[in-house]
Amino acid sequence: MTVITRFAPSPTGRLHVGNLRTALHNWMYAQAQGGRFLLRIDDTDRERSEERFVDAARADLAWMGLVPDGEARQSDRFALYEDRFETLKAAGRVYPAWETAQELELKRKVLLGRGLPPVYDRAALDLSDADRAAFEAEGRSPHWRFRLDHDSAIEWTDLVRGPQRFDPSTMSDPVVRRADGSWLYLLPSVIDDIDMAITHVVRGEDHVSNTATQLQMFAALGAEPPAFAHEALLTGSEGKLSKRLGSLGVDHFREIGIEPQALVALLARIGTSDPVEPQVDPAPLIATFDFGRFGRAPARFDEAELAQLNARIVHQLDHDAVRERLAHGMGEAAWNAIRPNLSTVREAQDWWRVVEGPVPADRAPEDADFLAQAAQVAESIDWSDSPWQALTGALKNATGRKGKSLFLPLRRALTGQDHGPEMAALLPLIGRERALERLKG
């Protein structure tokens, strides 16, 4: 069996970090099993779906390195839905219901007021032909519900949550088609999963009850269902479900300088028993991907942890990987010198300005004579071989200074900073003429 997974966003808005995690895990599982990862655009909602969100979803996945092996759109598949709908209608598994939204809400409130679960009472099944004709005469159009089979429990073994069991008699027959003929999520998704030969559905635990309903739809259409993995939802760093997570997407992460490898490394492992590691290449993450490692507890997404992970990723990136994002003239030696001090690639621009200058004068009065002497020494040393060691060695012998009193005044005069990249790597980039100018003040 070839493993086939799918990521199925609705193009009614931008993808957020929870969506990205779902897409990543579908892609990773397909990669780990030598299978296929498909992108399905769930655009049955014609009023709210926008092409710009389709384009954005493709771009977001590409930024993360998630390349689908195929793409489909639900808006191209209405004829297929209609055909399968007629099959279910003929089998008595879908039926028309005529209640208005207001009438359904009233029924719901009455049941809740009696302390009962708000389960649909199947009143539509008791209507006579005359009743239905009267509704049609009023100008009403029915919505359509899938008729659940109450004879046996719905059971499956979830790849994350383990054995699951639902009593269908405690569930409402779900609406699958609106009165205007438009489709809701549940049935088209099942039809697509069958037609696209999806073997594994990976999604959030908020879909567990949907799965219970959809398993009966697979059976009603004579199809074997895919395996299901329902993952714990993301929570914010404060330990609660956070509305902020719903607004964090690729644009946000790019804006703050997050590398896609960092986001992939974090989302691949949070919620599992495996440590989060700064993997530039996703291959080790894919090789260890296992739904058995996922826990039931909410997965904690911490932007501070992401920032720390990002720095560790940046420290591994070679010059070729970042060349196009660096300042003009910043070569491999400069990148290698500056890289260990960076949290984001864009910070390299700030350090390159330190190299090229000008830098703010930062010298204590008591260091004036020392720096004047340093300028004289700098004029005499060999700049072709380890000038920092030559400069500090000569000054140590001449002045008796060592440690912080030796190095800090030099760093401040040469860079305007108290901390930064190793001066042994930075001074050759600054060069003799600029260094002399800064030491002389």
- Domain 365-440 fold is Arc Repressor Mutant, subunit A (1.10.10)
CA-CA distances (angstroms) from residue 400 to 370, 372, 377, 396?
11, 15, 14, 5
Phi-psi region of 403 (alpha: psi -120 to 50; beta: other; left: phi over 0): left
Predicted confidence at residue 317, as pLDDT, reads: 97
Strands (E), 19-73: 36-41, 70-73
- The dihedral through the CA atoms of 137, 141, 143, 144 has a sign that is positive
pLDDT in tens, the chain (441 residues): 899 999 999 999 999 999 999 999 999 999 999 999 999 999 998 889 999 999 999 999 999 999 999 999 999 999 999 999 999 999 999 999 999 999 999 999 999 999 999 999 999 999 999 999 999 999 999 999 999 999 999 999 999 999 999 999 999 999 999 999 999 999 999 999 999 999 999 999 999 999 999 999 999 999 999 999 999 999 987 766 667 777 899 999 999 999 999 999 999 999 998 999 999 999 999 999 999 999 998 889 999 999 999 999 999 999 999 999 999 999 999 999 999 999 999 999 999 999 998 988 778 899 999 999 999 999 999 999 999 999 999 999 999 999 999 999 999 999 999 999 999 999 999 999 999 999 998
Only one residue has tokens 């993301």, namely 234
Only one residue has tokens 């009403």, namely 140
Cβ–Cβ under 8 Å, residues 233 and 241: yes
Annotated binding site for ATP, which residues? Answer: 243
Phi, psi of 257 (to 5 degrees): 85, 20
What does the DSSP assignment read for 218-272?
HHHTT-PPPEEEEEPPEE-TTSS--GGGGG--HHHHHHTT--HHHHHHHHHHTTB
Predicted confidence at residue 204, as pLDDT, reads: 94
Q: Name the class of domain 80-177.
A: alpha beta
Question: Residue 323: helix, strand or coil by DSSP?
Answer: helix
Closest to 3 (Cα-Cα) out of 35, 29, 26, 32: 35
Cβ neighbours of residue 415 under 8 Å, at least 6 residues apart? 354, 359, 426, 430
Cβ–Cβ under 8 Å, residues 410 and 367: no
Question: Residue 163: helix, strand or coil by DSSP?
Answer: strand
Cβ–Cβ under 8 Å, residues 276 and 265: yes
Residue ranges of the domains in the chain? 4-72+186-234, 80-177, 319-356, 365-440
In this structure, how many other beta carbons lie within 10 angstroms of the beta carbon of residue 58? 16
What's the count of helices (H) and strands (E) in the chain, helices before strands?
19, 12
CA 290 from centroid of its chain's CA atoms: 18
How far is it, in rounded angstroms, from Cα 42 to Cα 54? 10
- Domain 4-72+186-234 fold is Rossmann fold (3.40.50)
Cβ neighbours of residue 33 under 8 Å, at least 6 residues apart? 3
Predicted confidence at residue 80, as pLDDT, reads: 98
Phi, psi of 143 (to 5 degrees): -95, 170
Predicted confidence at residue 240, as pLDDT, reads: 63
Tens digits of per-residue pLDDT, 229-265?
999 999 987 766 667 777 899 999 999 999 999 999 9
Strands 162-166 and 154-158 turn out to be: antiparallel
Tens digits of per-residue pLDDT, 104-134?
999 999 999 999 999 999 999 999 999 999 9
How far is it, in rounded angstroms, from Cα 430 to Cα 151? 80
Phi, psi of 165 (to 5 degrees): -145, 130
Please give the torsion angle defined by the CA atoms of residues 366, 367, 373 and 379, in that order, rounded to the nearest 10 degrees.
Answer: -150
Predicted confidence at residue 350, as pLDDT, reads: 92
Within this chain, domains 4-72+186-234 and 365-440 share the same CATH topology = no
Q: What is the pTM of this model?
A: 0.90
Predicted confidence at residue 239, as pLDDT, reads: 65
Annotated binding site, which residues? Answer: 243
Q: Which two tokens stand for residue 216?
A: 């009966």
Write b or e for each residue in 228-242: b if 16 or more Cβ atoms lie within 10 A of its Cβ, otherwise e: bbbbbbbbbeeeeee
